Amino acid sequence: MNAIELSVFASRMTAICDEMGAVLKGAAFSPNIKDRLDFSCALFDTAGQLAAQAAHIPVHLGSMAYAMGQIVAGVEWCEGDMLVVNDPYLGGTHLPDVTVIAPVWSAGELVGFAANRAHHANIGASSPGSMPISRTLEEEGVVIAPTFIVREGKPVESVMCALCGEDQSSNAGIQARGDFAAQISASRLGAKRLAEQVEALGVQAYNQALAQLNDYAERLARSALRQIPDGRYRYMDYMDDDGLGQTDIPIAVALTVSDGQVEADFEGTSAQVSGNINCPLSVAAAAVFYVLRCLMPAQTPACAGSFRPVRLRAAEGSLVNARRPAAVAAGNVETSTRMVDTVLGALAQALPDVIPAASSGSMNNIAMGAPAQHGRERWDYYETNGGGMGAGKSGGGLSAVQTHMTNTLNTPIESLEKHYPLRVTRYQRRRGSGGAGQNPGGDGLVREYQFLAPATVTLLTERRTRAPWGLSGGDCGAVGENRHNGQLLPAKVPLKVNAGDTLTLATAGGGGWGVSTGDTV
């Protein structure tokens, strides 16, 4: 292919992923998928190497790119099959993120895979929202080993029933079934579109185009990474706590840069902990891939070639490469975010005018719900909340936005209040929480919930004791706060609430950049 043909090919591959996302969003039932857009779609080659992705959730996409090969290898695929899996130790993230994978066939030949990953608020944990303060993976819900959810074009009803709960006629059961049907539809659409692409080109020409695309991505990636001065750059940051008493938990990284190749070594990082902030290596890979991808040109194809210059080292049994059955519910959302801060901190030594200060450093997770009682059906809800973005040399940070490893929207208040016994009494920018500087950090936000019925709540948050750092003389952002009826809560906590109670999340601001002149507003 010439350059124009290759560009068209890349755009068509990305468009397939975008269309998959549109189908998933439009067909899903739950606010997590249809409103918050907590899902990701991608295409892979026959070996499970990334071929294309949409601009969805970095922690989903990076982990799938790193580990899809081990998921699809060894499966006896037939046309019309689809596999469902959520096991974090088989390339997943945490149990609520469920992946549906469809093989793609052309003229009877396997040519690739279409996959999507989406967040389910109820995956069988004892606590509503399936994001508990847990010690083991089994406490976090149902672990789905690679299982056929569709076999030769027909849904496997026994699997669907097992995934959607005992009461299939309840609102929760209907919502779960609708979400899985949406995921199946998205993967089916992706497989159809990719098969059409392959058939238009021919299998051999398609494989050649994909190889060219990977080589081109690698050249762009190496060129961008050569802008980092060769050397070894170290940084250490800390998690606030693990929710079970361990505090100030270190994450260390050493980046070795040599002629456009980068190795990220997490030696010095804490051993895995009792709480659920551990994560599988696929999540660590997603964090590293994300940061380095941000240094590459916008036109760099999102395929396996762009990650060829990147190497990863992390001791087995460490916080960022945990051993089964370590709990991982918050590792996907919180530890991944701190790994980004750590890698950015190391890169800031090499590229001080390019790298921004730390952002809010937490997805500010809140899971809630209640079992069926007093005539009300069971309900489960989960959402993340934004914060302040770190400032850089080129300008101040954005306020009240999701940053880095998440790319979700907020749930609109109208949707939240329609579906659940909740009222949002305050939702505003947390003014003054961004760090001061020549360019100030972005402000966090304040979101206050009033409960209209008793519920169980779990908070999994960070940057409540250690503030997001500034750069080049800029100040740190303000730490976040969690309050129940005005009383300060820990960063990670389960609690019972009554009707009329309020829960307030005030999220951290971003760090400032440069010494403040006193003239910033």
What pLDDT is recorded for position 55?
Answer: 82
**Which residue, among 339, 364, 393, has the nearest Cα to 512 in the 3D structure?**
393
Model pLDDT for residues 310-325, shown as the tens digit of each residue: 999 999 999 999 999 9
User: Taking 90 as the threshold, does the pLDDT of residue 67 lie above it?
Assistant: no
143 compared with 59, residue with greater pLDDT:
143
> What letter represents residue 491's amino acid?
A
Q: Is the pLDDT of residue 63 over 90?
A: no
pLDDT for 265: 98
pLDDT of the residue at 431:
98
The residue behind tokens 């016994």 is 421
Question: Using 50, 70 and 90 to split pLDDT, how confident is the model at 498?
Answer: very high
What's the pLDDT tens digit per position in 11-39? 999 999 999 999 999 999 999 899 999 99
The whole-number average pLDDT for the span 451-461 is: 97
Q: Which residues pair with 233 in a beta bridge?
A: 255
pLDDT reading at 2 higher than 50: yes
Return the sign of the alpha-carbon dihedral for residues 121, 122, 124, 129.
positive
| Residue 374 clears pLDDT 80, i.e. is over it | no
Could you read off the pLDDT of 418-441 as tens digits, one per residue? 999 999 999 999 999 999 999 999
Chain-centroid distance of CA 512 in Å reads 25
pLDDT of residue 336: 96
Which of 111, 121, 120, 300 is closest to 190 using CA atoms?
111
Token output for 42: 């991608």
Beta carbons of 324 and 268 less than 8 angstroms apart: no
Tokens standing for 209? 């185009």
> Would you state the pLDDT for residue 166?
64
For helices 171-201 and 203-225, the axis angle rounded to 10 degrees is 100
* pLDDT tens column, 178-214: 999 999 999 999 999 999 999 999 999 999 999 999 9
Those residues whose C-beta lies under 8 Å from the C-beta of residue 237, and which sit 6 or more positions away, are: 250, 251, 338, 341, 342, 345, 466, 469
Q: How far is CA 411 from CA 30, 136, 369, in A?
A: 11, 29, 16
pLDDT of residue 519: 56
* Full DSSP string of 326-341: B--TTIIIIIHHHHHH
Direct distance between the N- and C-terminal alpha carbons of the chain, in angstroms, rounded to an integer: 52
**Is residue 122 predicted with pLDDT exceeding 70?**
yes
Tell me how far apart the alpha carbons of residues 477 and 75 are, in angstroms, rounded to a whole number.
48
pLDDT at 521 (0 to 100): 46
CB of 428 within 8 A of CB of 200?
no
Span 348-360, pLDDT tens digits: 999 999 999 999 9
Q: What angle do CA 12, 13, 16 make, to 5 degrees?
A: 85
pLDDT for position 520: 47
Average pLDDT of every residue of the chain: 94
